[in-house]
Structure 1
Amino acid sequence: MAAPKIEAPKPELANHQEMAKTYAEVAQRASKLLNAHMQREMKKGIQPPSDELGVAQAFMDMMNKLLANPYRLAQNQMNLVWDYFSLWQHSMQRMWGLSPDAVASPATGDKRFKHEDWQDHFLFDFVKQSYLIAARHIHDTVSGVEGLDEGTQKKVNFYTRQYIDAIAPSNFALTNPEVFQETIRSHGQNLIKGFNNLLQDVEEGDGSLRIRMTDTSAFELGKNVATTPGKVVFQNELMQLLQYTPTTAKVSSRPLLIVPPWINKYYVLDLREKNSYIKWSVDQGHTVFVISWVNPDVKMAGKGFDDYMSEGVLAAVDAVIEQTGAKEINAAGYCLGGTLLGTTLAYMAAKKDKRIASGTFFTSLLDFSQPGELGVFIDEEQVQALEKKMAERGYLEGSEMAGTFNMLRANDLIWSFVVNNYLLGKDPFPFDLLYWNSDSTRLPAKMHSFYLRKMYLENALVKPGGVEVCGVKIDLSKIKVPCYFISTVEDHIAPWKSTYTGAQRISSDVRFVLGGSGHIAGIVNPPAANKYGFWVRDDDKRPEDCEAWLEGAKHQAGSWWTDWQAWVKAQDSTEVAARDPAKGKFKVLEDAPGSYVKARLDKSPK
């Protein structure tokens, strides 16, 4: 007797089974999260609402000033009504088959309205323009309020923009044409899957929403990111020192030491072979060393800025000199690592230590008088609240700092993923840069408090003797080694006009270069990509005013990497035989990328 034939389930049945499975996962996750939330709330008891960021007070001050000028408010309201009347006329003309010019159009590069129905479909075009009109008038009204102090005005502007971004029609299922179409096509499965994704992110965030930006399971350090061959040749409690395997027979006599920020991990400079600054530098004949900072826990709460210099940069300089036998090295610092490098160069100048022969600064602030939108989060009240929180656990949680940076570009780094993950019900796309971006680090309480107060609140680094590190009063004007500053025109973390004023504090020869794009893309910009370009002055003059510098600068095609290479070779062109990290003075501890960089925030500190 023949075996009974088993037929494949019909597509409709398979869809129902998939939906039932998703429903079950959603119910299970929701029940678990609800119980966990209730238990946490019961333990905390009733807590009064707090305003640690000072947002409520800022908006109360703004409303008082706004209502004090009713004529100005009425004028703004009439302008809004007039624009809506123009939109009504525009819509009527479209209904009659005409093609009038839009009353309001998205800014160039606004990806929220790229779907064709935002332009082609009458209803969605009306919704889009209605939102853009309202957004413009809301922003103009609050930003035009007179009588507010600068800090309050910046806070109001920033959080108003957060509100405007949040209410965009692209963020809602019924007013986003792409989500609307997908909901009809999938019979609502996208929303069920999206809700499941939302619950999963809350679950993995231990009760807090931690939006996944990429598929983290698609990457492994040392396998498909941070792959440049090398060895860990030195380590202490605070950092590991990596030395990379040479690819040329001869190398520059001066090794290159890279100081990355400890607020992120170093491998943003080594994401993939084709865009790795580290790999490219090795191929140019540099003996490259990089500091890989530890991901600190509560045991390192007492580590301060002094320690990051003494056990970090200075210990690395000692190790590089001993490992290679070189008498001088070149050093480069990225972002916060550049701030530390500048401090170290001033310290070494005071100590008559000339082992670092040149300094390179990637988007680094030395003068914090104009910190950009990050200044919204830094005032005395907010720093005190942050210090209280850090005192309880010994460190600043990396996810909190990451959330702050994401808010600076909310549409790209928050809302686009809300739409993709929760409304469209799609899984995050594997992207190495976003994998790095989600791999944040903790910050020791003592160090971070010092950094916020001395740099941001007091701007003490530019004041001779304003900062004392390891018993030495720091004076940036004492730095005598040649320096190279690369900043980026769209940087929202270290605004280029601020990095320019910092470069002015150094009295030695400085080459200032302004790259295209932003804080990350403008730096991770390999020559092979031939993107963005950069501005530079042939005469290397540095007028006091940054705009005057830009007026005299010329735009060059390609990457600043090649300009830097020409500059650093001009400092010293002598060469020696390639240096094998396995044949130096130190015993190899492990292969790159090392173990420190592999500690992730999704593993609880012990």
Structure 2
Amino acid sequence: MTMDQPTLSPDPDQAARDAAQAFDSRFHAAMAPLWGGLSPISLALATTDWALHLATQPAQAALLAARAQQGVWQWWGDTLGQTPPDSPDPRFRHPGWRAWPWAPVVQAWHAAERWWDQATALRGMSAHHQEMARFFARQWLDMLSPANAGLANPEVLQRTAQRLGGNLLDGAAHALDDWRVAQGLAPLQPPTAQYRPGIEVAVTPGRVVHRNHLTELIQFLPLTASVQAEPVFIVPSWIMKYYILDLSPHNSMVRWLTEQGHTVYILSWRNPDESDALLDLHDYLEQGVLDNLAAIGRLCGGQPVHAAGYCLGGTLLSIAAAALARPGGVDGGAALPPLASVSLLAAETDFAEPGEMGVLIDESQVALIEDMMAQRGFLSGRQMAGSFAYLHSRELIWSHRMRALWLGEPDQPNDLMAWNADTTRMPAVMHSEYLRRCYLRNELAEGRFPVQGRPVSLGDIRQPIFVVGTEQDHVSPWKSVYKIHRLTDGELSFVLTNAGHNAGIVSEPGHPRRRHALRLRRPGDAWVDPEHWADGAERREGSWWPTWHAWLTAHGSGHRVKARTPPAQAVLADAPGTYVHQCHAD
């Protein structure tokens, strides 16, 4: 080095700052179980926001006090009535709740619910803190529900008398089994029915025809002599195993599509471990969508592909479709087959209003999640499942425990419940990037999400798009899914089906009480908000699957080819492959 060259000395304080941050990160991760995995700072900020606005709004506080007093007098008058009104809450369906002394207790509890709904909506509070305040008020009310009162629950009293306390003994056995499972031990009362991938579920015949570090690509064997020229490529969410779309034979989406004459491919995500901590969203895009799309192109002679994504898989697919559609596409894009269409099933592309999932996501909470992931290099499936259970504690915790522990009713397992317990992990870098880029900064909707160094815009997608939302979706609220209308300009068919995030998608023909509505948006059509969308929608009874099949057929070439079987040289294993069997215990 010559004398005239400047020397760069390291920041003398950087090592100290790094050490301090590392210590704080470990401290937060160690304390997280005491906080239930929730950021105490986020909770304190929301509580302070609510308390300060209540303290500085004396008229509003007086009004709330007056409403509380009015509620007490109304409750007192109702208790003197002959026939108390029925509760709409399913926890109080038992006729004992309509008798004294339980009916007045239920009415008081409902009055408290209504009062807290008003008390947590104070002018001046941030929208996020209002949501948090309302959410935690509901959590406390659900915990204090009369339905959780054990032997003071009239249904429990009746069951105990009928069974001479046998329900309590059964409940104790269920509690012991729950504890054993939590400790990694086998339950003493194993479930009567098992749902094992490749044996009871995920049994549609197929072959693994491509594999990389993150995914296995499964091609399902044809069930018709000829097939549509364009194959269907499905990208499921990386949070769970792929076989949500291949459960039992009667409700397997991939089997049904194969029976309709489609060549179906699906991704099976690998369960990451500590060595995968540095995998990021770009790795999931490259190895999940683009690499497997190239493999399908080789297997199908470059035929255009109908691409479909479910939940987070749909979000990832929309990013890939936008990157492929922009000028210049992606590196190596010339080797990829073109997309014939894009289908997004319960998948968000705009995260400005993510529903219940957004209640607990802010800068402080994401930082705590990052600290928790830093210890092992991933977010465990158990941690993710715990978050979902907390968001839906009424059904998944309190009602479940009351029925299992006090009524002595065991779970009635089914294929969907078994799949729901078969979780996968998420690498630390990828999950952090997903939370920050999508939930906190909404980069995809705002045209700032980078792919290979350049931002993508969903407005570049020119293929026809088929979008499904579900009415009772708490993971991807349908009005949030609907926002793709504002982000794209081409032909878009939007379907709204009843049921929830999983049951609305796994909605096979013949399933009772299924219905859906469909409306087409053509290029140049005026904006229609979701509240008025139904005014021009076509309503149909039954599953939306036949509607999708007809749409796929209409947006293909119309040609059929000889049924495709996986070439022998491409076969790596029989379906469901090896990645689906990776242990989910953490």
Q: Taking structure 2 as the reference length, what is the TM-score of the superposition?
A: 0.87
Q: Give me the whole-angstrom Cα distance separating, in 1, the residues matched to 2:42 and 2:32.
A: 21
Q: 1:475 Cα shift?
A: 1.9
Query: What is residue 87 of structure 2 aligned with on the other side?
Result: 106
Query: What is residue 84 of structure 1 aligned with on the other side?
Result: 72
Does 2:377 correspond to 1:394? yes
Query: What is residue 580 of structure 1 aligned with on the other side?
Result: 565
Compared CA separation, residues 343 and 529, structure 1 to 2 (3 A): same
Q: Out of 237-246 and 81-90, give the one that drifted further.
A: 81-90
Tell me, yes or no, if the aligned pair for 2:39 and 2:365 is still in contact at 8 Å: no
Summarize the alignment of residues 374-413 of structure 1 with structure 2, pairs less than 5 Å apart: 374-413=357-396
Q: 1:425 Cα shift?
A: 2.7
Q: 1:331 Cα shift?
A: 0.7
Q: 1:539 Cα shift?
A: 6.3
Q: Give me the whole-angstrom Cα distance separating, in 1, the residues matched to 2:140 and 2:372.
A: 26
Tell me, yes or no, if the aligned pair for 1:260 and 1:336 is still in contact at 8 Å: yes
Q: Among residues 118, 128, 150, which one is paired with 1:140 in the alignment?
A: 118
Q: Give me the whole-angstrom Cα distance separating, in 1, the residues matched to 2:236 and 2:446.
A: 24
Tell me, yes or no, if the aligned pair for 1:244 and 1:287 is still in contact at 8 Å: yes
Aligned length: 544
Q: Give me the whole-angstrom Cα distance separating, in 2, the residues matched to 1:142 and 1:383.
A: 24
Residue by residue, what CA displacement relative to the aligned partner does 1:296-347 show, whole Å, maximum 9, x if unpaired?
1111111111111111111111111222324211110001001100111112
Summarize the alignment of residues 83-482 of structure 1 with structure 2, pairs less than 5 Å apart: 83-94=71-82, 99=83, 102=85, 105-107=86-88, 110-119=89-98, 121-143=99-121, 145-206=122-183, 215=191, 218-350=194-326, 351-352=328-329, 353=333, 355-464=338-447, 466-482=448-464
Q: Give me the whole-angstrom Cα distance separating, in 2, the residues matched to 1:181 and 1:390.
A: 47
Tell me, yes or no, if the aligned pair for 1:198 and 1:422 is still in contact at 8 Å: yes
Residue type at the aligned position of 1:424: L
Compared CA separation, residues 261 and 325, structure 1 to 2 (3 A): same
Tell me, yes or no, if the aligned pair for 1:253 and 1:326 is still in contact at 8 Å: no
Q: 1:366 Cα shift?
A: 0.9
Q: 1:211 Cα shift?
A: 13
Q: Give me the whole-angstrom Cα distance separating, in 2, the residues matched to 1:179 and 1:536.
A: 45
What percent of counterpart residues are identical? Answer: 37
Compared CA separation, residues 245 and 193, structure 1 to 2 (3 A): same
Residue type at the aligned position of 1:479: I
Residue 504 of structure 1: SS of its match in structure 2?
helix
Q: Give me the whole-angstrom Cα distance separating, in 2, the residues matched to 1:282 and 1:302.
A: 37
Does 2:542 correspond to 1:558? yes
Q: Give me the whole-angstrom Cα distance separating, in 2, the residues matched to 1:568 and 1:76.
A: 55
Residue 527 of structure 1: SS of its match in structure 2?
coil
Residue by residue, what CA displacement relative to the aligned partner does 1:100-135 show, whole Å, maximum 9, x if unpaired?
x52xx533xx3211222223x322222222211222
Tell me, yes or no, if the aligned pair for 2:492 and 2:521 is still in contact at 8 Å: no
Residue type at the aligned position of 2:149: F
Q: Give me the whole-angstrom Cα distance separating, in 2, the residues matched to 1:381 and 1:356.
A: 39
Residue by residue, what CA displacement relative to the aligned partner does 1:485-506 show, whole Å, maximum 9, x if unpaired?
1111221111222212124312
Q: 1:53 Cα shift?
A: 6.0
Q: 1:530 Cα shift?
A: 4.9
Compared CA separation, residues 53 and 337, structure 1 to 2 (3 A): farther
Q: Taking structure 1 as the reference length, what is the TM-score of the superposition?
A: 0.84
Q: Give me the whole-angstrom Cα distance separating, in 1, the residues matched to 2:34 and 2:73.
A: 44
Residue 295 of structure 2: SS of its match in structure 1?
helix
Q: 1:185 Cα shift?
A: 3.6
Q: 1:382 Cα shift?
A: 0.8
Compared CA separation, residues 440 and 216, structure 1 to 2 (3 A): farther
Residue 401 of structure 1: SS of its match in structure 2?
helix
Compared CA separation, residues 445 and 52, structure 1 to 2 (3 A): farther
Query: What is residue 486 of structure 1 aligned with on the other side?
Result: 468
Residue by residue, what CA displacement relative to the aligned partner does 1:366-416 show, whole Å, maximum 9, x if unpaired?
111111121112111111111111111100111222222233333222222
Compared CA separation, residues 211 and 308, structure 1 to 2 (3 A): farther
Residue type at the aligned position of 1:283: E
Does 2:506 correspond to 1:528? no
Q: Out of 382-391 and 426-435, give the one that drifted further.
A: 426-435
Residue 483 of structure 2: SS of its match in structure 1?
helix
Q: Give me the whole-angstrom Cα distance separating, in 1, the residues matched to 2:542 and 2:388.
A: 28
Q: 1:282 Cα shift?
A: 0.6
Query: What is residue 15 of structure 2 aligned with on the other side?
Result: none
Residue by residue, what CA displacement relative to the aligned partner does 1:242-297 show, whole Å, maximum 9, x if unpaired?
11111111101111110000011211111122211111101110011100001111
Residue type at the aligned position of 1:545: D
Tell me, yes or no, if the aligned pair for 1:231 and 1:590 is still in contact at 8 Å: yes
Query: What is residue 60 of structure 2 aligned with on the other side?
Result: 72
Tell me, yes or no, if the aligned pair for 2:87 and 2:93 is still in contact at 8 Å: no
Residue 510 of structure 2: SS of its match in structure 1?
helix
Unaligned runs of 5+ in 1: 1-43
Q: Out of 466-475 and 487-496, give the one that drifted further.
A: 466-475
Residue 361 of structure 1: SS of its match in structure 2?
strand
Q: 1:61 Cα shift?
A: 2.4
Unaligned runs of 5+ in 2: 1-29
Q: Give me the whole-angstrom Cα distance separating, in 2, the residues matched to 1:54 and 1:135.
A: 23
